[in-house]
Amino acid sequence: MSGARAQTLDQLRRMAPDSGALTAPVISAEGPALDSVPPKAYRPPVRPLGQAQPPGVPDATVALADVRNRHWKTTDGFGAGDDRIHLSAHFDLEGNAYLSVMAASWELPYFYLFKRGMSGCWESRGARYHMRLDVSIWRARTSNIVEIYREGENHPTYAARIIDILAKAYETGREIRLGKRAYRLFYSCSVDGSKTPAEADTRRMGIALVEDVGKRGEHDFNPYIFPAADIGKAKLSRYQLANGQTVGLKLSQDGASLLIYGLSD
């Protein structure tokens, strides 16, 4: 999300697995390793360029109700029916990356920050679950494994690498093509990290355009995130992304749809 620090997965692979929390730009482009490069070397993932009149027909129009929080229940999980536990990856407006956990009967998920020593527990339909991160010095940070155990059992009910959770979440986004570039679009809320576990902050919404620039079968995600409060109906809000592309965002007159413009390649 805008204003957060950024680095590529190639940089990430060279870091120890216990280097701290992951932020959205930890898996994006054009920025420093965590706390290791002077601030003057940092290039924001999203730079606002002010407002302007829309240039005409948008490149894409997305009904916000169709994509709002869609990834929470369409990414991954375990169990079936009323016993289903939905799992996904989620970014807040500050750029922190979380594991979202949502039982079938819950209205909103809980969130657990991807970081060294991450852990958590929750109850659903009489069962208690414990989550931990299995780390190894021989793995890239995003290759460390999220494990979830049902209380009383010795083998994990669920196990997946962080990067695989991120990849499955990416696939749930709405595909948007702007010029030569392809993105997945998400519309969701921020996170209140002051609570344990963290909870949804539904007062603060955001738009995310996520680009996969990975090569040779490996994922490398660049998330570009825009506070929804900055996007209006009257004029086009313009932004330059760290990949060099300029985009414009605007709401429809009824506020129900997002209009997206690719202003440069």
Question: Model confidence over 88-141: pLDDT tens digits?
Answer: 999 998 878 899 999 999 999 999 999 989 999 999 999 999 999 999 989 888
> Does residue 185 form part of some domain?
no
In a domain, 128, yes or no: yes
What is the separation, in whole angstroms, between the first and last Cα of the chain? 21
Q: For residues 133 and 147, give the distance between their C-alpha atoms in angstroms, rounded to a whole number.
A: 6
What confidence score (pLDDT) does residue 42 get? 42
152 within a domain of the structure (yes/no): yes
The band of 41, judged by pLDDT with boundaries at 50, 70 and 90, is: very low
**Residue 21 forms part of a structural domain:** no
Closest by CA to 163, choosing from 11, 14, 3, 22, is: 22
Predicted confidence at residue 231, as pLDDT, reads 97
Instruction: Identify the domain containing residue 127 by its residue range.
Output: 72-166
Q: How confident is the model at residue 218 (pLDDT cuts 50, 70, 90)?
A: confident
Q: What is the pLDDT of residue 11?
A: 35
The pTM for the full model equals 0.82
pLDDT of residue 214: 85
Q: Is residue 155 domain-resident?
A: yes
Tell me how far apart the alpha carbons of residues 181 and 163 are, in angstroms, rounded to a whole number. 22
User: Has residue 212 been placed in a domain?
Assistant: no
Assigned domain for 119 exists? yes
Q: How many domains does the structure of the chain reveal?
A: 1
245 is a domain residue = no
Q: Are 134 and 62 in contact (CB under 8 A)?
A: no
Which pLDDT does position 116 carry in this prediction?
A: 87
Show the tokens assigned to 186. Answer: 């998400």
Q: 15: pLDDT confidence band, cut at 50, 70 and 90?
A: very low
Measure the CA–CA gap between 123 and 157, rounded to whole angstroms. 14
Once rounded to an integer, what is the mean pLDDT over residues 183-200? 96
What per-residue confidence (pLDDT) applies to 94? 82
